[in-house]
Amino acid sequence: MIVEIPKIIKIGALKATLEITPYAKCDDGYNGFFNQRTEVMGLDTTLGVGNRDRVLAHEITHMIDIDKECNLGEENISRIGNGWLEFLRDNLGIELDWSNIQ
Ligand SMILES: [Zn+2]
């Protein structure tokens, strides 16, 4: 099943407008960022499709971490992001459609 990624992502009280942007290297080594103040989530233009899914999951997990006050830390953010992405992809058969986000 192919699921369209929404342009605006909401997690609890947080909101982010998703953008593909050059030089989105603020989140160390992950080529993406979530800025709570500007409500922008940026993913780097150079990411391939698989990596883009992974960085999106990472940044959404940051939003969950902040909103739910988990204090997970960077490595655990990645582990949990990868885990729920694997659930969506490998168990539910969900493939992300990026056609609205360019
Ligand atoms: Zn991060």
Q: Give, as residue ranges, everything with CB less than 5 Å from ion ligand 1.
A: 27
Distance between Cα 74 and ligand 1 center (Å): 5
**Which of 12, 95, 97, 26 shows the shortest CA–CA distance to 59?**
26
Distance between Cα 4 and ligand 1 center (Å): 23
Edge-to-edge order in the sheet of strand 8-11: 8-11, 14-21, 40-44, 32-35
pLDDT in tens, 19-56: 999 888 766 667 899 999 999 999 998 888 889 999 99
- The full set of domain ranges for the chain reads 2-97
Distance between Cα 77 and ligand 1 center (Å): 7
Q: What is the pLDDT of residue 37?
A: 97
Q: CATH number of the domain at 2-97, out of 1.10.10, 1.10.1060, 1.10.287, 2.170.120?
A: 1.10.10
Q: What is the pLDDT of residue 76?
A: 97
Q: What is the pLDDT of residue 29?
A: 67
**Which residues, in sequence order, are bridge partners of residue 34?**
41
Q: How many Å apart are CA 93 and CA 72, to the nearest integer?
A: 27
What mean pLDDT is reported for the chain? Answer: 93
Is the pTM value of this prediction over 0.75? yes
Quickly count helices (H) and strands (E) in the chain.
2, 6
